[in-house]
Amino acid sequence: MFGQPTLINNVETFACVPAILRRGAEWFAAIGTERSKGTKVFALAGKVKHTGLIEVPMGMTLREIVEDMGGGVPDGGQIKAVQTGGPSGGCIPAAHLDTPVDYESLGRLGSIMGSGGMIVMDQQDNMVDVARFFMEFCRDESCGKCVPCRAGTVQMHDLLCRLLARQATARDLAKLEELCDLVRNTSLCGLGITAPNPVLSTLRFFRQEYLDLLAPEPWKPATPPAPSPASADTRPQPPHPASPWLPKSSPSTVRKSAPPKGRASSRPPTRRASASPPSATWRA
């Protein structure tokens, strides 16, 4: 800032500083696990008796946090999952409640420490709706600079709404997964890169809930129709004059051994399978 090196940390980091200054770095580092040291503040919310801000030593298990500190689900319900890390975090199913809360363990389960949100869900919560809720947040918070985050979150949110309305088919679910992959790998900043997390983590542990919401595809024949080459446009297409920066012929890769990959379209077989595969036209 003002041409000087600037370190901006969040309030939580600043809040740790006085205690460390007062009692020394060794004291702070003695708390927690080997790789994740100190304490962490969580905003415990959702289906627990005692909600609110809690500070726990790193490495405490999820079960201790939600059952002992949070008091478990009110009226004796069953915990189904715990969502950590805020909107771009992930859902951890009840089977993993004995996981210690530290950066590495959460990462292994596809979640993050993130902003320190911790939301407890019980059997009444539908995980697809949970994913939709967080996707809505990401969609609304996208700054709009890069295409995958700006437009991809809109489409992912719409797909989740269609699922919840029981209007989505297996193809839509495949599209959703394709979008997650796209948005995660092509977005410009952390918001877009992590925006698919709620979907990916609920898909990982609660795929059946997605499958249960799928609408049947009544029009779908038992086997996909074979592509009919007769209708495919195989004429060579001239490269457009206005775009000199695009490859016009074979892959212009600088890498020495570019393996000529199979040209088969990676898309799922669609009803429009009779159209020429995309790569065939532009490479012709």
> Which residues bind to another protein, rule: CB under 8 A?
139-148, 150-155, 158, 175, 178-179, 182, 185-188, 237, 239-243, 245-248, 251-255, 258, 261, 266-267, 270, 272, 275-276, 278-283
Complex with another protein: residue 52 or 278, whichever CB lies closer: 278
- Least distance CB 161 / another protein (angstroms): 11
Length, in residues, of the chain: 284
CB of 247 vs another protein, minimal distance in Å:
5
Give whichever of 85 and 152 is closer to another protein, judged by the CB atom: 152
Smallest separation, CB 273 to another protein (Å): 12
Distance CA 29, CA 139 (A): 38
> Which of these, 268, 276, 130, 126, lies nearest to 199 by C-alpha position?
130
Smallest distance from the beta carbon of 284 to another protein, in angstroms?
Answer: 9
Q: Of the two residues 25 and 246, which places its CB atom closer to another protein in the complex?
A: 246
User: CB–CB of 72/49 below 8 Å?
Assistant: yes
Residues paired with 83 in a beta bridge: 91, 119
Report in angstroms how near the CB of residue 233 gets to another protein at its nearest.
8
CA distance 57 to 102: 9
Which CB atom, from 69 or from 182, has the smaller least distance to another protein? Answer: 182
Cα distances from 69 to residues 48, 62, 136, 176, 247, in angstroms, run: 9, 10, 30, 37, 59
Nearer to another protein by C-beta: 50 or 145? 145
Which residue lies nearer to another protein by CB, 143 or 211?
A: 143
d(CA 209, CA 29): 42
CB of 137 to another protein, least distance (A): 11
Greatest pairwise CA separation for the chain in angstroms: 79
* Measured distance CA(41)–CA(57) in Å, rounded: 9
Q: Which of 198, 193, 158 is nearest to 175 (CA)?
A: 158
Q: Minimum Å distance from CB 105 to another protein?
A: 23
Q: Which of 55, 59, 65 is nearest to 33 (CA)?
A: 59
Least distance in Å: CB of 238 to another protein? Answer: 9
10 Å CB burial of residue 234 (0-12, 13-18, 19+) is exposed
Sign of CA dihedral 187, 190, 195, 201: positive
Question: Judged by CB, which is closer to another protein: 20, or 188?
Answer: 188
Q: Are 280 and 232 in contact (CB under 8 A)?
A: yes
Nearer to another protein, 19 or 258 (CB): 258
